[in-house]
Amino acid sequence: MVQLSSLAAALAVGLLPNLAVAAGLHEAAVAKGKLYFGTATDNGELSDSPYLKQLGNTADFGQITPSNSMKWESTEPSQNSFSFAGGDAIADLAKTNGQKLRCHALVWHSQLPNWVSSGTWTNETLVAAMKNHVTKVATHYKGRCYAWDVVNEALNEDGTYRDSPFLKHIGEAYLPIAFAAAAAADPTAKLYYNDYNIESPGPKATAAAKIVKLIQSYGVKIDGVGMQAHLIVGSSPSESALSSTLSSYTSLGVEAAYTELDIRLKLPSTDAQLAQQSNDYRAVAAACIKNTDCVGITIWDWTDKYSWIPDVFPGEGAACPWDEKLVKKPAYAGLLAGLGGGSSTTTTTAGTTMTTTTSSAPPTSTGVAQKWEQCGGLHWTGPTVCVSGTTCQKQNDYYSQCL
């Protein structure tokens, strides 16, 4: 901290540096050398004005992924008849906002139109149909996608290949064939294999690494592994397990990203669950920050209002960093802490050394932190007294919270 006399001297010569406000999630990620922090979105949500305003907040979101509108059933509902309106709307929005676009997903066993899932195929005819789909869709978005999830969820939990029309009629070679078609259609896009439950060591993660090696063995381009990271509060992988698995992929010469992050809990949520969720989010962000080849994190929509979780996992939800009213939850502060959202700057002026600190959340105007707000941690300069009925509880070295 600065002595009062030194502060006055600095003010007198007009050289006091501006105090930085807290960084958003994307700003914090970029400050640590990452390409983006982003979110998924879907077309039906874009008519919600308050939602759309935050979606375009590039301090938090430097990247967008369309949840559904680039999948096979949306882009090629009947054979060789293509529709890009939904995907274009989100691609155009990303361009307008100056956000990167992650494109999702070219080949997947689910959300296939009936003509694919129930068609009568031979190896030759399905290879031709798959290559045509990948080529037409990737060509349409050529130059617009930072990355494509080329093949999505090809694995069972035990590491064997998931049953699909592609596996049945083509065999495992459908993976390198799809990647080769995508590389030819859009040479500048990063090409990813994307799956869930591959964030920590186990047979599925081992099999995901084998997919990278398989594609490489064909001499075909693969640039990254996407770990969806649909996690569960209290049973999410530790930071060390996350880091170990990240390294198992990046050691193969590819980059990695968390591509669909959310962390669900049993409803109704409790203070203890939300605190644990915050720490689980922090661990994911911190693991990515520590690995040079982890390029970014995408949450699978940013608000509980539009989360997919309650529809698929009855009795569970509250998985996103913002609640249904678009208010930040403790998970937001956990992410910011994991991303290293606080920093300090030292400036020397006329023999006076001054250190200014940016915080991972702005101080409240009253000097009292409200429930859920930050109340301490490394470099924290905001309030340390909690509102009546709550106490300041340490979550980690970077973040204490009023609970």
For 208-243, letters b (16+ CB in 10 Å) and e give bbebbebbbeeebbbbbbbbbbbbbbeebbebebbb
For residues 251 and 210, is the Cβ–Cβ distance under 8 A? no
For 41-79, letters b (16+ CB in 10 Å) and e give bbbebeeeeebeeebbeeebbbbbbbbbbbbbbbbbeee
Residues with catalytic function: 153, 260
For residues 166 and 121, is the Cβ–Cβ distance under 8 A? no
CA distance 399 to 20: 18
What count of other Cβ atoms lies within 10 Å of the Cβ of residue 18? Answer: 6
What count of other Cβ atoms lies within 10 Å of the Cβ of residue 298? Answer: 26
Q: In this structure, what token pair is assigned to residue 40?
A: 């998924």
Contacts of 148 (CB under 8 A, 6+ apart): 102, 103, 104, 105, 106, 138, 182, 186, 189, 190, 191, 192
CA distance 5 to 352: 10
Would you list the DSSP string of 67-135? SSTTSHHHH-SBTTB---HHHHHHHHHHHHHT-EEEEEEEEESSS--HHHHT----HHHHHHHHHHHHH
What count of other Cβ atoms lies within 10 Å of the Cβ of residue 327? Answer: 11
Phi-psi label, residue 169: left if phi above 0, alpha if psi -120 to 50, beta otherwise = alpha
Determine the 3-state secondary structure of 36 from DSSP.
strand
CA distance 238 to 374: 22
Give Dmax (Cα) for the chain: 83
